[in-house]
Amino acid sequence: MAKGKTFVLDHEDEMYYVYDLAIYTAPADRSRAIDRYARSAAFEPQSDERLMLDAMCASQFAILLIERHHESAGLIATDILRNSEVWLLDVGLDSSMDEGELIATRLITPGAFSMTAGVNVPFEIEMLDAVCALLPRNIANSKLSRVAEDRRFAEAVYTIGLMDGVTDKMAHL
C-alpha cells in the first residue's frame, strides 16, 4: 500500500485499510493509536463510550467462516484462527454473505455480539499461502491464534486482498 513514504492506492476506499492498521496495530516497540487515545479519554466507567472504547482496545483480527444467519439479526460465524463461534451483528454483511463464505475483518465485541471495525476482505483459502509468504518465517510457522495476533498478519491479508483484486468485489453502501 506504500512505497517509501508515499501511498500507492488504486481507489480512495483503500485508505480504510490504512486507517485500520494505523489505529489498531503498531510495531512491537510502539504503542497503538487506540491505546494512546484510551489513556487520554475521560469517559465515565460505565458509559457507552467507555464500553465501546474498551471493546476497540480488545479488538481481534479474524477470518470468519459464515455458518448461518442468526435467528434475530446478523450472522453466526466461526473464527477459524481461534476456532470460536462469533455472533456478527452487521446488517450489510447479513444481507450480502452466504453460508460457507469467508471474510477477513477486525472484530469489536462490546457484549454478546461482535461487529466489524469497518474493513472487510472477502477471503479465499487460496490466499493463505501468499499471506504467509509475506510474514516472517517465525510468525508464518506459528499456531494460527498467534499469527492472528501479529500486526503483520492483518497487513499481509490487506495487501494480498488488494493485489489479488478480491476487494474489488466489495461495494461500500
Residues spanned by the domain of 8: 2-169
Q: What is the tens place of the pLDDT at every residue in 48-61?
A: 999 999 999 999 99
DSSP letter, residue 138: H
- With b for 16 or more beta-carbon neighbours within 10 A and e for fewer, the 51-78 pattern comes to eebebbeebbbbbbbbeeeeeeebbbbb
Taking alpha carbons only, the member of 117, 110, 114 closest to residue 19 is 117
- Mean predicted confidence (pLDDT) in 79-92: 93
Taking alpha carbons only, the member of 101, 109, 121, 130 closest to residue 170 is 121
The region of weakest confidence among 74-78, 106-110, 141-145 is 141-145
**Domains contained in the chain, number:** 1
What is the structure's pLDDT at 125? 87
- Mean predicted confidence (pLDDT) in 23-36: 94
Q: How far apart are CA 62 and CA 78, in angstroms?
A: 9
Grid cell in block for residue 28: 512491537
Do 139 and 153 contact (CB within 8 A), yes or no? yes
